[in-house]
Structure 1
């Protein structure tokens, strides 16, 4: 009988504790702004690590927050960046994970020591500028 566990966690991505802290800071900023949002943190491959939907956030906010995080993680750019049509990396991750990238302001890459480690995505029903403000505060937690 095998008792050894095989880890499939990318050593460079945020841990669950780190991702949860990032989400918490973004939610705290949303509360400070008086808005409701959904917040997602994913690793560099666009795989979800942590997620939170505030009470009262719209039903589609979850998909959009995750989509912004995926868009930012796979490009290494803010989520509004649009990769060129047919970009192999973009197509393979989105198709493989089954999560559509959402190219609208509010997703921020997470970097440590200059290396891309994942991304945060925030979506609410206020403005993209407020989404970005929450994402930026959350991302500042990961340094």
Structure 2
């Protein structure tokens, strides 16, 4: 018997939600005339959805995932670096093989005050534009 048992909690970030978040961030990047990579991960830094726009730099994928990881594991925007001595500062944290990247462009996602993941955006434009795309992507959950 091969019964499928779902391990998804109804409070978890779903693929459908993560894909919509990515889509909104990419739409904002198009509006700004820039190319980016966008990653959405769950609260443990595991990738749920990802998109690399045509023309986005080859290393933008790692940057987007790294920003999402940094934001998801800390519950803070990715540019906030934990202080020395903090458990997150002292540990080597990786999600999907990419180290946490503490630079502007990652935003935590919360549902009813509970951390459900994060979005990370990385492109070849400014970090302000990365954050703008992430903010639009996260608008439902930010």
Question: So what's the TM-score if we normalise by structure 2?
Answer: 0.90
- How far 1:95 moved relative to its partner? 4.6
Q: Which has the higher helix share?
A: 1
Q: Measure the CA separation in 2 of the matches of 1:12 and 1:90.
A: 28
8 Å contact kept, 1:41–1:66 = yes
Unpaired runs of at least 5, structure 1: none
4+ residue segments displaced more than 6 Å: none
- String of CA shifts for 1:88-134, please: whole Å, max 9, x gaps: 45666725753200000000000111111100000000000000000
Paired position in structure 1 for 2:64: 65
Provide closer, same or farther for how the CA distance between residues 10 and 99 of structure 1 changes in structure 2, counting only shifts above 3 A: farther
Task: Quote the Cα distance in structure 2 between the aligned partners of 1:55 and 1:26.
Answer: 14
Note the 1:72-91 alignment, pairs <5 A.
72-85=71-84, 87-89=86-88
Provide the residue aligned with 2:23 in structure 1: 24
| Residues paired across the two proteins, number | 142
SS in 2 for 1:56: coil
Between the aligned partners of 2:79 and 2:68, the Cα distance in structure 1 is: 11
Pairs within 5 Å for 1:1-143: 2-9=1-8, 11-85=10-84, 87-89=86-88, 94-95=93-94, 98-142=97-141
| Alpha-carbon distance in 2 for matches of 1:126, 1:84 | 28
* TM-score when normalising by structure 1: 0.89
Range with greater deviation from structure 2 (13-22 or 97-106): 97-106
